[in-house]
Structure 1
């Protein structure tokens, strides 16, 4: 099975810098923002984005994590998923602009689950979606607001995001497809 690297560490850093600027521009600054990462790598990306937004926007942005495991519609096919902690910042999400952050957008089912989970937590003023890699193949009408890289891929291929904090290495690769 072949594997090819499509984003290196510098490419990921550039993509996140661009996304941070786009979030700030879209929101007209950092006020009222909350970033919620979807475990595992979405949480890491949310923390990186928050640091960049603080650097460019001059104010810290609350960051948390949103576990979507129990809201997924595929638990019957993947029953071994272990729930991860949901950590909502003390400021909460009511009346704020929540930016959901994840590494790869594929079918859209994780994001649908995240929207259901958010609904149980509070009522944000708006919800936006920031994705490092959009690989297509949507099954639901979900579209990201901020994308690091559009990466068309075959359904038979697997997109792997590796981040230094989680994996000890940093790159995005595509494997399979033969």
Structure 2
């Protein structure tokens, strides 16, 4: 049961953050040579499309984009009752590329680790950089994002919720405090 929902970003704020991240990616990678964007399914893939458009505005080049599904690379796969496998789609080789791995929310780092494993099954990139809209802390693995929209430290009784419109464009980012979790932590 949700006791509190606090909107932190609206669509305009999210757009400004993605514009900034696109400029940071362009500057750090000295343009777009051998640059590819890979979004993690169900959030990161939507962000990747938006970053692709923003990078195209900056560079006048269309940066290749792909999607990686991590279902079979999760470290908790044995304990899950049902594993829903999505589709990894990349119409390019990652060999010798600068891969920008994109997700909407970074939490423990386990999703990013699984995505890196999935990418290495496809080839050997020159490097992998991580871009996230929100970094909420609580890392369990030594994963650090290279590009962060916003750092929002949270408690375990809180969650970050990114709401998407029908067009898959993020509309809001909210901090949600769950009643059951907050009572357990009290």
TM-score tier, shorter chain, comes to: over 0.9
Of residues 2, 5, 8, the one that matches 1:3 is 5
Alpha-carbon shift at residue 79 of structure 1 (Å):
3.3
In structure 2, distance between residues paired with 1:78 and 1:133 = 26
Confirm or deny: 8 A CA contact 2:104 2:134 kept in the other structure.
yes
The answer for the alignment partner of 1:82 in structure 2 is 84
The answer for the alignment partner of 1:67 in structure 2 is 69
CA shift in 2, pair 1:34/1:167, >3 Å: closer
In structure 2, distance between residues paired with 1:148 and 1:83 = 28
The answer for the alignment partner of 1:27 in structure 2 is 29
SS of the residue aligned with 1:13?
Answer: helix
Q: Which runs of 5+ in 2 are unaligned?
A: none
2:141 paired with 1:140: yes
Q: Which piece of structure 1 moves more, 15-24 or 152-161? A: 152-161
Alpha-carbon shift at residue 66 of structure 1 (Å):
0.5
In structure 1, distance between residues paired with 2:151 and 2:60 = 29
The answer for the alignment partner of 1:120 in structure 2 is 121
Larger Rg: 2
User: How well do the aligned residues superpose, as a CA RMSD in angstroms?
Assistant: 1.5
The answer for the alignment partner of 1:109 in structure 2 is 110
Equivalent residues, number? 177
Alpha-carbon shift at residue 82 of structure 1 (Å):
1.2
Confirm or deny: 8 A CA contact 1:44 1:165 kept in the other structure.
no
Alpha-carbon shift at residue 118 of structure 1 (Å):
1.1
Confirm or deny: 8 A CA contact 1:94 1:124 kept in the other structure.
yes
The answer for the alignment partner of 2:101 in structure 1 is 100
TM-score between both structures, scaled by the size of structure 2: 0.90
Q: Which runs of 5+ in 1 are unaligned?
A: none
SS of the residue aligned with 2:66?
Answer: strand
CA shift in 2, pair 1:8/1:21, >3 Å: same
SS of the residue aligned with 1:147?
Answer: strand
Confirm or deny: 8 A CA contact 2:40 2:103 kept in the other structure.
yes
